[in-house]
Structure 1
């Protein structure tokens, strides 16, 4: 055995095995996942920043109700544009360079917010961070899926959503002690760290092969995996064609397109972005005494259950977790709607007020006793979302598309996700007014039911398969 063999032997599986064991793939995945951490922080930023901006004194900008609504929602419009931009970048500039470029609007956007003296500058900064969110939310899952070997692709792919919810939680926690300007300064740090770490890891081997840079691809593979064992080289001929509309007639293209777009739409129609953007408002409606604390509790639950999903993803499989997640969300949104229906009905509807209401000398609202139903339902929803419908649509998006259409296809999926996020976030309060709060949550429950049915009948299992085997499945090979 040569010294080189001895050096790489600990990184490999047993003799004759096909599973790599290099730990450098985890470094590359972490560097890429700092992009999702940054866009999670950008998403969560609005929740603590809006109350701070409502009470800001001149010369700082001050938000009214309509401006606060736009401040929360405009990031999703920027992200939709970023999804389109990222779809072009990821195939032309590559996965690594696209992630590096996404750090720039993150830093510039938060810097603009920090320096803002009027509302329009604030919104401009939010739009820039949204643009970065769109690029990072598209490119990071693609980069991670292409550098990971099959045995850990579910784990590493789920870390995208784990970093998103960690970023949201970080914004909530920091919002307790920092006002909006210093919170924006903190938002510059994760993308700066991503810029440094991504400079130390290679481009994905699949992209390098598509560019006919085979020697660089093998060097990147050895850096990431420790060897070439377990690597299934994709065919290169088709990868230079690019996307054409005529391709949508092929089952290998239109089937993953339908699945990817539908999963993104159902994810947002569950109402999760409205919950996260307006977490404090929803808990205030539920008569929860400390709505800021409630938001942090929601963030903690999301982080814990997303981490759990990441750990079991490669054992339980995608379909099982999506189905389980959807069923939990159906019950929790139904229960939350029931809370609002009962609270609206008047004093006679709660028989547990005396047991659950806090001791107070002030008159007690009869619906306070039902607040625990609302809190429990919300926590159950967040836990259910985190184990399936949070991470898995992003993971599947990065797995199911052939290499030669991946940029355009993932761009369409991300555009769908962020446009739906904008509509749900911006119009959530209008829906609550039109249908009453209970009707809005029961509508979300109906969409969750459709999501479960779609999973059972249309979504294939990708656990343990190489990206080439997944493509072959859709093509009927």
Structure 2
């Protein structure tokens, strides 16, 4: 296909793009696309988020074991256990900054391969730990890897995928995170914390090996002036029958229009600062729902709610996450991002309100402070039996919250982050979003105990409910719908111009 002739065909008499011609050409191109290798490359890349999920979930089964360790050098008190759970977010914030630099310097593919190494080394240090500080170092390393992964993988997938499946494949990032969390919860029922760390090092090892055979993203290659390599990558991802020169030229035009280098003055461009502000606010709101605090201390929350089988309850929560994140992935490209965010926010607001009501009633029934003790004080927290008529409320509230989060506020902020930024600022802007997300995660998880003591259990969950309500309003007013649009069309929307 002669690209110049095709462009001339798509221009009308006034020299303006012909939307009907463009659509028919796009439809003809998409009819020849085959997605098999695209799915394969996505599956390999999301081994990173699965590793990330193992890191997030690891603290829930490991903390109770380490808190009762027979070895005094490894025994965690309440403060140390809190740091063991939350220090990973410090590493992840640093990893977000590192990832923003890496994706621009060495590309998406190599960044993904390099970030697997701290996963493996971090878990190896945990396995070999002889004191608490070695546990901290291992958690920080796996946190750094998690931060890089949470930035690189959404970018890698969004820059590989076409608009028809970008929502589905982009949602697989969060799906694999929650699958990793569920698997580590499940494994924690059968193996101790050292063997759990060994199991957790398997996905990143497979990622390093398999990623060698996957391509770099076409958009990054074109931004580096490597058109031939970009066409080869597109041919791998779209199949042998697709005329990839057409898509390559479309992406190349967008790269040429933006320029190749990011400058601070670009932050004055509405095509940059508008999506950046939206991305940052989405990350703040995601963490302020309290989801990471709930997931980090899942077993302890159930113990405080007086469920005897708290570890099994955590596995059930993980399974709910996996199921509803899978549902979100399947309907993402049909329902749209905005609708799912609103439904998700409503479900979380209602469930956290109900959870607060549960704890408030329990505190009145027992007339004691036992419900606002430290979350990690397992022996004290499980001392009383809950009223049997109210026990279902805590479990149901948690299930609805997790299901609601998985439908929208879990996968969609990361998906939108990977869609809305222009190529030249994608590394910088994504790093800002990831840093914001993990900084907020650290603040929420580290202060969760203090909030429970200061505001009581009921007040803490009502605070989360208030944030979820604000999320809904923010989504309705400011978040754009990106369903069915190419990355170039999304960028053009923020610039106030017509998309390519």
- Return the TM-score normalized by structure 2: 0.88
- Match status 1:319 vs 2:338: yes
Gaps of 5+ in 2: 1-24, 368-382
Whole-Å Cα distance in 2 between the matches of residues 450 and 251 of structure 1? 24
Alignment match, 1:405:
425
Alignment match, 2:102:
89
- Match status 1:34 vs 2:47: yes
Alignment match, 2:224:
211
Q: Return the offset for 1:435.
A: 0.7
Alignment match, 1:436:
456
Whole-Å Cα distance in 2 between the matches of residues 274 and 55 of structure 1? 22
Query: Relative to structure 1, is the Cα distance of residues 373 and 139 closer, same or farther in structure 2, using a 3 angstrom cutoff?
Result: same
Q: Return the offset for 1:285.
A: 1.4
Q: What secondary structure is seen at the aligned counterpart in 1 of 2:70?
A: coil
Q: Return the offset for 1:65.
A: 1.0
Query: Relative to structure 1, is the Cα distance of residues 262 and 364 closer, same or farther in structure 2, using a 3 angstrom cutoff?
Result: closer
Alignment match, 2:290:
271
Cα contact 2:52–2:180 (8 A) shared by 1: yes
Match among 110, 113, 119 for residue 106 of structure 1: 119
Q: What secondary structure is seen at the aligned counterpart in 2 of 1:16?
A: helix
Q: Deviations over 1:375-418 (max 9, x none)?
A: 10010000000000000000000000000000000000000000
Q: Deviations over 1:140-174 (max 9, x none)?
A: 00000000111100000000000000010111011
Cα contact 2:29–2:243 (8 A) shared by 1: no
Q: Return the offset for 1:22.
A: 2.8
Alignment match, 1:425:
445
Q: Return the offset for 1:18.
A: 2.5
Query: Relative to structure 1, is the Cα distance of residues 346 and 311 closer, same or farther in structure 2, using a 3 angstrom cutoff?
Result: same
Alignment match, 2:324:
305
Q: Deviations over 1:419-443 (max 9, x none)?
A: 1000100101101111111111011
Alignment match, 2:348:
329
Q: What secondary structure is seen at the aligned counterpart in 2 of 1:346?
A: helix
Cα contact 1:347–1:367 (8 A) shared by 2: no
Q: Return the offset for 1:241.
A: 3.9
Whole-Å Cα distance in 2 between the matches of residues 402 and 246 of structure 1? 14
Cα contact 1:59–1:117 (8 A) shared by 2: no
- Match status 1:199 vs 2:212: yes
Whole-Å Cα distance in 2 between the matches of residues 15 and 301 of structure 1? 37
Match among 275, 281, 297 for residue 256 of structure 1: 275
Alignment match, 2:495:
475
- Match status 1:233 vs 2:251: yes
Query: Relative to structure 1, is the Cα distance of residues 380 and 209 closer, same or farther in structure 2, using a 3 angstrom cutoff?
Result: same
Whole-Å Cα distance in 2 between the matches of residues 387 and 364 of structure 1? 34
Whole-Å Cα distance in 1 between the matches of residues 44 and 97 of structure 2? 23
Where do residues 4-23 of structure 1 align in structure 2 (5 Å cutoff)? 16-19=28-31, 20-23=33-36
Alignment match, 1:65:
78
Q: Deviations over 1:303-324 (max 9, x none)?
A: 0000000000000000000000
Cα contact 1:346–1:366 (8 A) shared by 2: no
- Match status 1:396 vs 2:409: no
Q: Return the offset for 1:242.
A: 2.9
Alignment match, 2:161:
148
Where do residues 117-132 of structure 1 align in structure 2 (5 Å cutoff)? 117-132=130-145
Match among 377, 380, 385 for residue 405 of structure 2: 385
Whole-Å Cα distance in 2 between the matches of residues 17 and 99 of structure 1? 30
Whole-Å Cα distance in 1 between the matches of residues 224 and 203 of structure 2? 30
Cα contact 1:330–1:448 (8 A) shared by 2: yes
Whole-Å Cα distance in 2 between the matches of residues 412 and 72 of structure 1? 23
Q: Return the offset for 1:287.
A: 1.3
Cα contact 2:306–2:384 (8 A) shared by 1: no
Query: Relative to structure 1, is the Cα distance of residues 465 and 346 closer, same or farther in structure 2, using a 3 angstrom cutoff?
Result: same
Cα contact 1:210–1:239 (8 A) shared by 2: no
Q: Deviations over 1:240-291 (max 9, x none)?
A: 5433222221110111001100001100000000000011111111111210
Cα contact 2:343–2:408 (8 A) shared by 1: yes
Cα contact 2:223–2:260 (8 A) shared by 1: no
Whole-Å Cα distance in 2 between the matches of residues 338 and 238 of structure 1? 55
May I ask how many residue pairs the two structures share in their alignment? 451
Alignment match, 1:169:
182
Q: Deviations over 1:89-142 (max 9, x none)?
A: 011110000000001100000001111100001100100000000000100000
Cα contact 2:92–2:143 (8 A) shared by 1: yes
Alignment match, 1:357:
none
- Match status 1:179 vs 2:198: no
Whole-Å Cα distance in 2 between the matches of residues 80 and 314 of structure 1? 30
Whole-Å Cα distance in 1 between the matches of residues 27 and 480 of structure 2? 32
Q: Return the offset for 1:210.
A: 0.4
Alignment match, 2:436:
416
Alignment match, 2:5:
none
Cα contact 1:334–1:445 (8 A) shared by 2: yes
- Return the TM-score normalized by structure 1: 0.92
Whole-Å Cα distance in 2 between the matches of residues 192 and 409 of structure 1? 29
Q: Deviations over 1:192-220 (max 9, x none)?
A: 11111111110000000001000000000
Whole-Å Cα distance in 1 between the matches of residues 27 and 165 of structure 2? 20
Q: What secondary structure is seen at the aligned counterpart in 2 of 1:236?
A: helix
Gaps of 5+ in 1: 1-12, 349-362
Alignment match, 1:360:
none
Alignment match, 2:374:
none
